[in-house]
Chains A and B, each alone.
Chain A
Amino acid sequence: MSFEATDRNELRSKLEEYARTGNKDLRDEIVRSQVGLAEYLARRFKNRGEPIEDLIQVALLGLLKAVERFDPSRGLEFSTFATPTIVGELKRHFRDKGWAVRVPRRVQELHLRMGTVVNNLSQELGRSPTIPEIAQRAEVSVDEVLEAMEAGRAYRFSSIDAPAADDDDRAQSPAAAQLGEDDTGLEEVEQRMLLSPLIASLPKREQMIIHLRFFRGMTQSEIASRLGISQMHVSRLLARSLVQLRDRAGAEAAPG
């Protein structure tokens, strides 16, 4: 009892210090000390067709957000505050997927393999390959290729697409500001949309991809070679960004 009380006090003083200083190391320490809560909540969502490891990752993201948003001056217990945040993140994870079907392992594997196949074929052909060409090279059926393309949407939180490393430097400057010289002279509409908080809230690389695809009309393969990543990766990031934009647009329209 008194031991728990000590723990609670220690947590509280750390949270207060974090709120004051914003020290990232301290934040991570707090997150580590509360992993149990995240895991506990993640387990409540198992048996819904998602790997538990993924759910724990999502829950940890929720926990991180909770630590960042917690306001010690309001006098709430941290766990009281964090639980709905984490549960919200988990629910959002299921909702964003839009389809609750678990992606079979063979489809996941094909999806990953297609990254290389599409890149190689694009280089050999000097254009984007057709679906039958991809199927032939990967030695699978056209339907399997189509299914594997869909699978990209389910990859939002898996290890290959772990929250991008550039999440940290998100939105210091909008992507519009870091495009090369050939991209100066943005049109007014373009500038206004790119600078909107909605898009600026995305990680920089995603902002860049949105900009290049939808405002500059570059194809996914062109973007892939410009950014030095695979086209499948561009495809995943694009899908993920659009879902995030919808989410945030929805949240702005209906606060609460």
Chain B
Amino acid sequence: MPGEQNGLEERDEQLRMGGDVRLVVPASPEYLRLVRLTAAGMASRLGFTFDEVEDLRIAVDELCFHLLGDAGDDRPADDRTMDLIYSAGTDFISITGRTGLSGEVPEPSELSEQILDALVDEHEVSGTDGMVTFRLKKQRES
């Protein structure tokens, strides 16, 4: 019963056809578990190995945590959300996401960059005041 008339129908249709997954969660570190699990679920369906799924989970966590940043703590986030689309290729998974931002786009640390470089094939963060988007892509080796 796809009853909702919120202008997302066309996009949802695309999602269904391509086997993509869209996930919208409150922009709070508490929800990263769901974000990681969704990534792991899709990767495992694509035949990623345990090693690769682990890498993907860590990368997603690293990137998203970085963007949600220190808003964390026990403080409940405001009504900001993080909107992610997980796309499956034949031998890769790519995740794009966006979230609102109260300040400037946080600069990833050198270590964070190093970590992401080692875990995924592509990653980038861009944005302006108010909105940040990110993308990462991981290829299956075998």
Q: How many A-B residue pairs have CB under 8 A?
A: 94
Assess whether A165 is interfacial by the CB under 8 Å rule: no
State whether A130 touches B37 (Cβ < 8 A).
no
Report chain B residues within 8 Å CB of A1: none
State whether B58 touches A238 (Cβ < 8 A).
yes
Q: A188 to nearest B CB, angstroms?
A: 12
Please encode chain B, from 58 to 91, with 1 for each CB lying within 8 Å of some chain A CB and 0 for all others. Answer: 1001100100001011100000000000000000
Q: Which secondary structure dominates chain B's binding surface?
A: helix
Q: Report the Cα distance A128→B74, complex, angstroms.
A: 37
B-contacting residues, A235-256, CB 8 Å = 235, 238-239, 242, 245-246, 249-250, 253-254
Q: Report the Cα distance A26→B29, complex, angstroms.
A: 40
In the complex with contacts A127-B49, A254-B70, A98-B58 CB distance below 8 A = no
Number of interface residues, chain A, beta carbon within 8 A:
46
In the complex with contacts A94-B74, A143-B41, A146-B41, A128-B52 CB distance below 8 A = yes
Assess whether B93 is interfacial by the CB under 8 Å rule: no
State whether A146 touches B44 (Cβ < 8 A).
yes
Q: B13 to nearest A CB, angstroms?
A: 26
Q: Which of A118, A130, A238 counts the most B-chain CB atoms under 10 A from its CB? A: A130
**A238 and chain B: residue at smallest CB distance:** B58
State whether A245 touches B30 (Cβ < 8 A).
no
A-contacting residues, B15-72, CB 8 Å = 29-30, 32-33, 36-37, 40-41, 43-45, 47-55, 57-58, 61-62, 65, 70, 72
State whether A142 touches B51 (Cβ < 8 A).
no
State whether A149 touches B111 (Cβ < 8 A).
no
In the complex with contacts A98-B29, A254-B70, A242-B115 CB distance below 8 A = yes
State whether B50 touches A214 (Cβ < 8 A).
no
Q: A112 to nearest B CB, angstroms?
A: 16
State whether B30 touches A98 (Cβ < 8 A).
yes
In the complex with contacts A95-B74, A254-B70, A131-B44 CB distance below 8 A = yes
Q: What is the interface of chain A, defined by CB distance below 8 A to chain B?
A: 91, 94-95, 98-101, 118, 122, 127-132, 134, 142-143, 145-147, 149-150, 189, 193, 196, 198-199, 213-215, 217, 219-221, 231, 235, 238-239, 242, 245-246, 249-250, 253-254
**B72 and chain A: residue at smallest CB distance:** A95
State whether A221 touches B65 (Cβ < 8 A).
no
Assess whether B14 is interfacial by the CB under 8 Å rule: no
Report chain A residues within 8 Å CB of B33: 98-99, 101, 150
Report chain B residues within 8 Å CB of A98: 29-30, 32-33
Q: Which secondary structure dominates chain A's binding surface?
A: helix
Assess whether B110 is interfacial by the CB under 8 Å rule: yes
> What are 14 A-B interface contacts by the 8 Å CB criterion?
A99-B33, A122-B50, A127-B142, A130-B49, A130-B50, A131-B40, A131-B43, A142-B41, A142-B45, A193-B110, A220-B55, A221-B51, A249-B109, A250-B70
Q: B31 to nearest A CB, angstroms?
A: 8
In addition to A150-B37, A249-B109, 20 A-B residue pairs with Cβ atoms within 8 Å of each other are: A91-B74, A94-B74, A98-B29, A99-B33, A100-B30, A101-B33, A129-B49, A130-B44, A130-B49, A130-B50, A142-B41, A142-B45, A146-B40, A149-B57, A150-B33, A193-B110, A196-B111, A214-B119, A221-B51, A245-B111
8 Å CB contact of A131 from B48, B65, B70, B142: B48
**B70 and chain A: residue at smallest CB distance:** A250
8 Å CB contact of B73 from A95, A142, A146, A149: A95
Assess whether B131 is interfacial by the CB under 8 Å rule: no
